[in-house]
Amino acid sequence: MVFDSNGCDFFDVIYTRKTIRKYTNEIPPLEAIKKIADAGRLAPCATNTQNWEFIAIYDNAIKEQMAQAVNNKYDEIKEHLHNEEDQNKINGYKYYSMFFNKAPVVFAVVEKKRVSTLLSILEKNGMSKEQLSKYDNRSSILSMGAAIENMSLCAHALGLGTCWMCAPLVASDDFRKILGLKEDDRVVTLLTVGYPDSCDSNSQKSKKPLDDVFRLIV
């Protein structure tokens, strides 16, 4: 299968994608950013609810506000830590939350409240919260993942690098306010986008062999 817009081979895109965390200063054109959002829009979605929004943030001041909110959250988190080992671990983890403000564009991928048909019927009929959780198939968050992966592959096909980021979500309540979202909506991922910098030393990650993760039942 071939992407007709760029002539990229579909399997090449899958095989060569890797997370990119460092970008050149070149700003990706709006046309490319819209194409990436469109790839998200076209992803499969449980009951086709499409309870998502893809917000492309170019504005450095907004990115800075978001980064500051993440920084503040880590200060709060550190107050709960009583030993140096955990503090060092958190500092390492924090690194993977903080670089999004250096990306030329950051997508905030927003999950809008979706009421599961099954769960709402069971709840109406008096099922307890504990029992309900057993019937929660988490399809909404899976749909979000499908959209994000579409976006990431699309970006790669267009020559752009991405990093799918959940660690900054420690500040998701602040993101809601900064981005003017409704109370029930929440940012589930920041997806950074930019042209890969040659100094990004991130080589392709080793993956488990297929035999380790594939089981055949015949």
- What residue ranges bind ligand FMN (CB under 6 A)? 18-19, 21, 96-97, 163-167, 205
Residue 106, phi then psi, degrees to nearest 5: -125, 125
Nearer to ligand FMN, 56 or 166 (CB): 166
Nearer to ligand FMN, 28 or 168 (CB): 168
| CB of residue 172 to ligand FMN, shortest distance in Å | 12
d(CA 171, CA 66): 8
User: Which single residue brings its beta carbon nearest to ligand FMN?
Assistant: 167
CB 188 within 8 A of CB 168: no
d(CA 141, CA 188): 8
| CB of residue 202 to ligand FMN, shortest distance in Å | 7
Nearer to ligand FMN, 129 or 208 (CB): 208
- For residue 25, the SS3 value is coil
CB 163 within 8 A of CB 192: yes
| CB of residue 21 to ligand FMN, shortest distance in Å | 6
- For residue 137, the SS3 value is coil
Nearer to ligand FMN, 28 or 196 (CB): 196
DSSP state of 11: H
| CB of residue 41 to ligand FMN, shortest distance in Å | 20
